[in-house]
Chains A and B, each alone.
Chain A
């Protein structure tokens, strides 16, 4: 199980192209999102800070309910009505998006950032022709005429690998297969040449073989056009295949960030360690598959101190009281950081796993 490749699956690999612009293109700082629910206020996103450089793909991983999707929706400004951003900044190309009105955001969504959703069937308008859905962005934002937008849609359909685009243009989403629908979603996301595409588990609802095709497509498109990605998933091999950097979320907070290979092969947070130990497809050296005990924390009344401490095998008394912000690791690569107060123990555990049984 030891090989140069970190996954058992395809080898699309991260795009080799480095950051296209100096400094982050998207910078999220101290983002808080709260959801008003019947049983109290859910702190879905609780102080998340992220950076994405131009042309970079960032993986955002964590279990269901860790706040990954809410973070994406907050960036795009499409939170559900009961959720709202309570504080923080989302700076895209030097402009803070948080104070912008919905109509101001409409000029940014599409030409600057766009999104690919998890379920392409429900994310496509069932009564609108696929071609028109792709052409809508260019019609609205680029001032294209109907025919010019249609040409643009056909070109995009060709680019994302939809066969026979002239005929498929007039089809409806229900006439497409799952993989083809997701290609349509990607064509929509690309339609106005955005700088960043937010992907919310775009391969989770697809067959494994189709997943790989879609990932290769995304990797190729990013390399070709230099578009940045934030890729939300709970699928670690997918992150390893597509992203250069990864941020691990737990209970609405980031617990570890850094280079994909460093984080997945040599985790410095017990939660990340639990993730790689429990993921059969990740090329992490382990004795056997181990599940993380316990269940995700309540986001209405989160645990004190480190939110992972009730499930953590290394937890100490101070973990229960001290707040645990991300701290840069000495000697790590760019933005290699962990929230763990006792990350050395994690390091020892990884070393022990390497020695093997």
Chain B
């Protein structure tokens, strides 16, 4: 329990850091945000009103305090474009994004485990080299390009999947989101395969595998109970870090596949100069990355009994 508790405590400074970065975003925009929003023909009076509205006329510390105070009450400001609270807007667009991330992670793992096993059980054989080399193509191609290729091949030519959209109901989501999730998984899988293969090779050489063989444990049980159970431990961290990277990448995927998630919301809001929404989405992305890493660390502790006691 101490490990979990410490890990949760570590969230506090990280969360504060995320809010500081998000808060300063508005000051990173070149020039005056109010002028950017109102256009070059805005009168000084209107700009001054907007400054007062956004609290931009106050000292930075007091501005941050105000920002945090509103944040604590779940208030991310009003959307300038839609005229509704940004928090509610973001919340309503969150499920498709979470769907995409989880779906992609599941697909990536489902592809990586058997491929890593195929590679690791015949080290340096042809199939090992194939498994190590081919997925790198997926890593080398930018996800938006892979996404377009998949749409072209599987949606436009074969009609196996819809070109875009989120679908309705669980089955509908599963069907409609397959191509975007696959696109993300293709970027995610190569790293996971490599890490899993390396840790499987490590585990296969371990003495406790010989012990399991000396007990006459049959192949499938040996693989699941002894090899995989130990090999996933380091791979979980790698998966977590890379999902964290890919959360930013889902923005472009949502845009390509017209998924009504927060990534699409972000792009539209950038075009509309809808600062509160952009700020809010950035905050949510930051929180998601932090949560994914937290989840990875907690699974690490759950999978490896030594972590819970050694610290």
Give A residues with C-beta under 8 Å from B. 73, 76-78, 81, 102-103, 105-111, 114-115, 117, 119, 122-128, 136-137, 140-141, 172, 174-175, 185, 188-189, 191-192
Contact = CB atoms under 8 A, between A and B. Distances in A.
Interface stretch (B63-71, B73-81, B206-214): B206-214
Contacts of A188: 211, 215
A115 B123 CA distance: 26
Given A110-B216, A127-B303, 14 more contacts: A78-B213, A105-B216, A117-B210, A117-B211, A122-B206, A123-B208, A125-B226, A126-B306, A127-B229, A127-B230, A128-B226, A137-B215, A141-B216, A174-B309
Interface size band for B: 20 to 34
A109 B214 contact: yes
Contacts of A192: 215-216
Contacts of A77: 213
Given A122-B206, A127-B233, A109 B216 contact: yes
B221 interface: yes
A108 B208 contact: no
Given A126-B230, A128-B229, A174-B309, A106 B212 contact: no
B30 interface: no
Contacts of A111: 216
B218 A103 contact: yes
Nearest to B305: A172
Interface of B: 123, 206-208, 210-219, 221, 225-226, 229-230, 233, 303-306, 309-310
Nearest to B123: A81
Contacts of A136: 212, 215, 217, 225
A192 B217 CA distance: 12
A126 B211 CA distance: 12
8 contacts: A81-B123, A109-B214, A110-B216, A111-B216, A126-B305, A127-B303, A136-B212, A137-B216
A239 B210 CA distance: 25
B218 A122 contact: no
A117 B207 contact: yes
A174 B207 contact: no
A302 B108 CA distance: 51
Contacts of A78: 210, 213-214
Contacts of B229: 125, 127-128
A123 B305 contact: no
A123 B205 CA distance: 11
| Most B CB within 10 A of own CB, among A73, A105, A136 | A136
B207 to A, nearest CB: 4
The 10 closest A-B pairs by CB, nearest first: A110-B216, A109-B216, A115-B214, A122-B207, A106-B216, A172-B305, A125-B208, A123-B207, A137-B215, A123-B211
A70 to B, nearest CB: 13
Contacts of B210: 73, 78, 115, 117, 123
B309 A125 contact: no
B305 A140 contact: no
A37 B230 CA distance: 28
A125 B306 contact: no
Given A172-B305, A174-B305, A174-B309, A125 B211 contact: yes
A122 B208 contact: yes
A137 B218 CA distance: 10
Most chain B CB within a 10 A radius of its CB, from A102, A127, A137, A185: A127
Given A125-B226, A127-B229, A106 B217 contact: yes
